[in-house]
Structure 1
Amino acid sequence: MKNIFIKKNQNQSSPNSKKKVNFKEVMNMDVKTLKAKFSKNFRKLNKINTPEKKRKVVAVDMGSSMIKIVEGMYYKENLTIDKYITMKTPKDAIVDGEIKKSQELFDKLHEVIKSNGIKAKYATCTNNSTLIINREISIPKVDEDEMDTVVRYEIQQYLPINLEDYILQVMILSEEEINESKKLNIRVIAYPEKIARGYYDLLIKLNLKPYALDVNYNAINKFINCIDKNNEYEYNSEDSVAFIDMGASFIDVNIYKNGNLDFTRMIKAGGNDIDEILIERNNIEINKVESFKAKNIDLEEVFEPINIYVREVVDDWIDKIEKIIQFYKNRNMGDEVKNIIIFGGSSKLKGIEEYMTNKLGINTIRKKSISKNAFNSNSDDRPIDDFINVIGSVIRL
């Protein structure tokens, strides 16, 4: 498993000065995560990936509303998680995956890390953003030394972006022959350098050693393959299964088949939509919204006015999810999504599993816990569905 952070020059006088990414080198890396690359520490990072080395990491899932932190280690296919921590994200500190208020975020993270006795020195981050581009394209089969040029040319035909502002990774998905011409089907991820640099600088300021920058759908993919693979009672991993992260600002729809990411989309909607209704219509104080939702919202109870308002919001979410699933089906020649696994804050709405199952006609399960046999954990049997992304980011393959 390889991961990319920003390649940084330790002699730079300003954190805002930029060093161009070596796209030739990047093109030949595995796309499953984004490889941590920065000059002085690069040899040390390579040592981390060797089986002989055991390193604890602190992993951070950077959400717009909540930040989840775990401390743990992945070594010789064994995963151990020692600590689970949640903290509220300072208001507007992270917007669409990008750090906007670095000092406020640093102050809060520094306090939480210190008060919880986290000792790990190596750090990973995972997040998602509408600014991260994920595309499958077809290119002519070329020699390795021509790959970067061809990919850059082709991606510019699909996306009118300045590639100097992005870190690119490419993975070959398949090879086919069309009219006696060989083609490569590839997946391209374009990760905004500005966002990656923000996380790198934050970790350095926290006196942590940046190890990896992940994207949530990759973290979930690792979670499925390393932890969730034995949960056949929930779903068959050979089928198309949608893992839906129902967050505060975004709903991430990630479809996996045969243990691999097959399709991903983000919906600009989430728990904040319900919070706004409760604050406006019921005059609920903002710091009491979560407890109010847990006690008073039931999607199966149709006669309470507040449930009617909430159902209207959830219906809009479901309509958008249904369109994504239908698009996936059409794109994949009728391939059906057989199961939906939901997790994240908004998946805790009472009755949402049954409600989505009835609306979509697809078995929907809320991921509440993980088998004790899946990995070593000092979680005291607490539900850890909020930590799926960040647990996955600890795993390095």
Structure 2
Amino acid sequence: MKLRSKKVLSMDFDTRSIKMAEGIFKKGKLNIEATFLLDLPEGVYEDGYINDKNLLSEIMDSFLRLNNIKTDNIVAVVNSSDILTRDIIIPSVGEDEIEGILKYKIADYIPIDPEDYIVQYINEGVFMENGNEKLKLFIVAMPKTLAKQHFDLLRDLDLKPRILDFQSNAIRKFLSFNETIEKNSIIKEKTIASINVEFATTNLTILKDEAIEISRNIPLGIKNILENVDVNLNLTEREILDSIFSFKKSDKSSLTEEENLEITGALNNLLSRLFDSLEMVFRYYSSQEQNNKIDLIILQGSIADVDDIKERFENYLNIKTLSINSLNGLLDKNLDIYSNAIGSLIRGESI
């Protein structure tokens, strides 16, 4: 499938939005021509599944026409609690034999019915174990129903879906492509925990030597803030989100002190629960091997714009925390939002 010299539109699907990046990846160079954000209404899309195909198709068709988006080569980026991942170790064999092992023995590694899943892998390299050559694979098992929903949706829009990528793999490619991400902070040769707080869930990806070590969906997200704000205040969802994601604290002056305190309390509650969940995964990761240690946290998504958020992560988890605001030195304040979509424009091993 030759997409290297063609313009591609990447779509990163989330419960309440689709982040899009349009560009070309050719001869190791990435040219991003445009980015777009499509907000979705409640109930249309949830946990990687399309609940209302007709409405979502109408919304996307209108958005593509309104923004004069004509690129039809599509890479879709998805995430779901139903997507299963594993690191597995097998004897060192050729690519053809890997396919055979995964086809006939995948149930030995992941408790699934192979008939219900599409199983793909990332080859993470050969190593020696007790004098024998072994191969490490990162396995991704995606429900066929989930994949079919997205391909059918895109084809109904007269688009050409080429690849269905996985969020953790998209951020892996994005960070592997970059030498620095914030104020020339070098990220190469570091073990990174990428944290993407989305509407319904938080995606945690731990990367070491440009390989995925852990991919986890934590069932905490922005919706937990909305649910914990007192309904008697009669605040709209937009008012709450604007308050949370203001770049300057002075922007919150349109709300009363009581309203701001209520929103701050809901945010603090989310962060407290999220920190505890992250710390548990970090402890598990550190216990697996003696040298397993998180060097750096990288925040993705709009959560990176919350006041003092990096300092709060650093203070609680005691790990240096950065946000994504540059692509190999090119500054762009929106990169943290579009990092998954941009990562899937980069050709490499895809799921």
Q: Give the TM-score normalised by the residue count of structure 2.
A: 0.87
Within a 5 Å distance, the mapping from 1:117-156 to structure 2 comes to: 117-141=68-92, 146-152=97-103, 154-156=105-107
Partner of 1:192: 143
Q: CA deviation at 1:104?
A: 0.8
Partner of 1:370: 326
> Could you give the per-residue CA deviations for residues 160-188 of structure 1, whole angstroms, max 9, x where no partner exists?
31101111123443445656765433322
Q: CA deviation at 1:259?
A: 2.3
Aligned residue for 1:273, secondary structure, equals helix
Q: CA deviation at 1:119?
A: 1.6
Partner of 1:225: 176
Partners of 2:73 and 2:161 within 8 A in 1: yes
Q: CA deviation at 1:279?
A: 5.1
Within a 5 Å distance, the mapping from 1:46-65 to structure 2 comes to: 46-49=1-4, 54-65=5-16
Aligned residue for 1:326, secondary structure, equals helix
Within a 5 Å distance, the mapping from 1:69-80 to structure 2 comes to: 69-80=20-31
Q: 1:312 aligns with which of 269, 284, 288?
A: 269
Q: 1:145 to 1:247 in 2, by over 3 A?
A: closer
For residues 320 and 280 of structure 1, the distance between their equivalents in structure 2, rounded to whole angstroms, comes to 27
Query: Are positions 1:92 and 2:43 aligned together?
Result: yes
> Could you give the per-residue CA deviations for residues 139-180 of structure 1, whole angstroms, max 9, x where no partner exists?
345676654454345431343311011111234434456567
Within a 5 Å distance, the mapping from 1:1-397 to structure 2 comes to: 46-49=1-4, 54-141=5-92, 146-152=97-103, 154-175=105-126, 183-226=134-177, 228-231=178-181, 233-278=184-229, 280=231, 282-293=233-244, 294=246, 295-296=251-252, 304=261, 306-367=263-324, 369-371=325-327, 373-374=329-330, 382-397=333-348
> Could you give the per-residue CA deviations for residues 211-257 of structure 1, whole angstroms, max 9, x where no partner exists?
1111111111111122x224484243212111111111111111112
For residues 180 and 362 of structure 1, the distance between their equivalents in structure 2, rounded to whole angstroms, comes to 36
Q: 1:374 to 1:396 in 2, by over 3 A?
A: farther
Q: CA deviation at 1:392?
A: 0.9
Partners of 2:92 and 2:135 within 8 A in 1: yes
Partners of 2:23 and 2:33 within 8 A in 1: yes
Report % sequence identity.
Answer: 28
Tell me the matched-pair count: 336
Letter in 2 for 1:203: L
Q: CA deviation at 1:390?
A: 0.5
For residues 318 and 241 of structure 2, the distance between their equivalents in structure 1, rounded to whole angstroms, comes to 29
* Structure 1 alignment gaps of length 5 or more: 1-45, 298-302, 376-380
Q: 1:77 to 1:279 in 2, by over 3 A?
A: farther
For residues 242 and 130 of structure 2, the distance between their equivalents in structure 1, rounded to whole angstroms, comes to 62
Q: 1:87 to 1:338 in 2, by over 3 A?
A: same
Aligned residue for 1:48, secondary structure, equals coil
Partners of 2:207 and 2:213 within 8 A in 1: yes
Partners of 1:235 and 1:339 within 8 A in 2: no
Q: 1:56 to 1:356 in 2, by over 3 A?
A: same
Aligned residue for 2:112, secondary structure, equals coil
Letter in 1 for 2:39: K
> Could you give the per-residue CA deviations for residues 317-375 of structure 1, whole angstroms, max 9, x where no partner exists?
111011111111111324210110112123322121111111111111222x2157559
Q: 1:270 to 1:281 in 2, by over 3 A?
A: farther
Q: 1:66 to 1:146 in 2, by over 3 A?
A: closer
Partners of 2:138 and 2:212 within 8 A in 1: no
RMSD over aligned Cα atoms = 2.5
